Amino acid sequence: MVLSMAGIPGLLFFLLLLLCVFGHVSPYEASWKPTWPAYRLPVVLPQSTLNLAKPDFGAKAKLEVSSSCGPQCHKGTPLPTYEEAKQYLSYETLYANGSRTETHVGIYILSSARPGAQHRDSGLSRSSRRKRQIYGYDSRFSIFGKDFLLNYPFSTSVKLSTGCTGTLVAEKHVLTAAHCIHDGKTYVKGTQKLRVGFLKPKFKDSGRETNSSNSATPEKMKFQWIRVKRTHVPKGWIKGNANDIGMDYDYALLELKKPHKRKFMNIGVSPPAKQLPGGRIHFSGYDNDRPGNLVYRFCDVKDETYDLLYQQCDAQPGASGSGVYVRMWKRQQQKWERKIIGIFSGHQWVDMNGSPQDFNVAVRITPLKYAQICYWIKGNYLDCREG
């Protein structure tokens, strides 16, 4: 049975959604293992698709997003109604030939208690301030050598030809920030020929790989590029802006023209910050101040809203779009698993008791965003019932 949520006001809509999502959350184990909660998720399905005119690709690529709307500002924003949520989760698809479509979605709740139960498809800035993003001592780590760069989890980080970072989340899919390809009004220059770069060892003239395992100098690496077949951007980003709701929807999915043949990292619903191991998050990206280097960092979450995580991980432009991940215990498979729970977006100046303070911000993968992104990847909502 499918429950439609039409006509429900914002607060009631989200209360019903949360009851559904957390209705099957397993209790937090009384052990030292931080455990992935078991969610029963909503369904986000396409309803209709319209053809749009080709964009002009005239926007300048921005490698970070800034906003003065901090945690209290976001917490005070009214929750979207069902119709507004559908509008924000509707999305635009850009194809490699420059054509573009807009897809409207419906949001549904499966009343069956059995995950994956079969049923009939029912149609289912402050510009004057320096944006440093470094807090005290620079705690970032540059990752050198193919033994690290080509191994999981660092191998899941890729570079976009527009200058941002992305993360491999499926055999042909990359998760990144929406602002890396779209400025909220139109697509950035170069998006029509968007490519994704994978770090690989450079080769000598003889054709053999360089080997610096016993050398004091870092091994030379190069990017191998794969073209993007299509991109998906939520309308919440396109219709909003960084000082309103836009930052909540600063995410995009890229589909490659061919499989990348690397291990990828699954996406997951972001648990509450207090349930994160040590209260920390991790991410790796291609910061501009360290060209050619993959830079890893971790830090504590300082605050959160329903859609955003506020932290002070050291970062520079170029790192935006990085997948924010944690490692927790997967009870069903009895193993540890890393999952992407957010996308690094940019930073915000926040008024803390009259004193300006800046935070770096990650967009949380909420149950609705998980259902949407998973459907983009899988194409079948029955494969998106567990977050």
Structure tokens at 251: 């995410």
The β-bridge partners of 345 are none
Q: Indicate if 74 belongs to the active site.
A: no
Local structure of residue 191 (DSSP, 8 states):
G
Long-range (24+ apart) CB contacts under 8 A made by 11-19 are 11/79, 13/79, 13/80, 13/81, 13/82, 13/85, 14/79, 14/306, 16/109, 17/42, 17/109, 17/367, 17/368
Kindly report the backbone phi and psi dihedral angles of residue 202, in degrees, each rounded to the nearest multiple of 5, phi listed first: -75, 155
Q: Indicate if 244 belongs to the active site.
A: yes
Query: If you compute the radius of gyration of the chain from its CA atoms, what whole number of angstroms results?
Result: 21
Selecting among 74, 179, 260, 282, the annotated active-site residue is 179
Structure tokens at 376: 């983009």
Selecting among 24, 68, 244, 303, the annotated active-site residue is 244
CB 107 within 8 A of CB 86: yes
Selecting among 157, 320, 322, 345, the annotated active-site residue is 320
CB 373 within 8 A of CB 379: no
Q: Indicate if 127 belongs to the active site.
A: no
Which residues are tagged catalytic?
A: 179, 244, 320
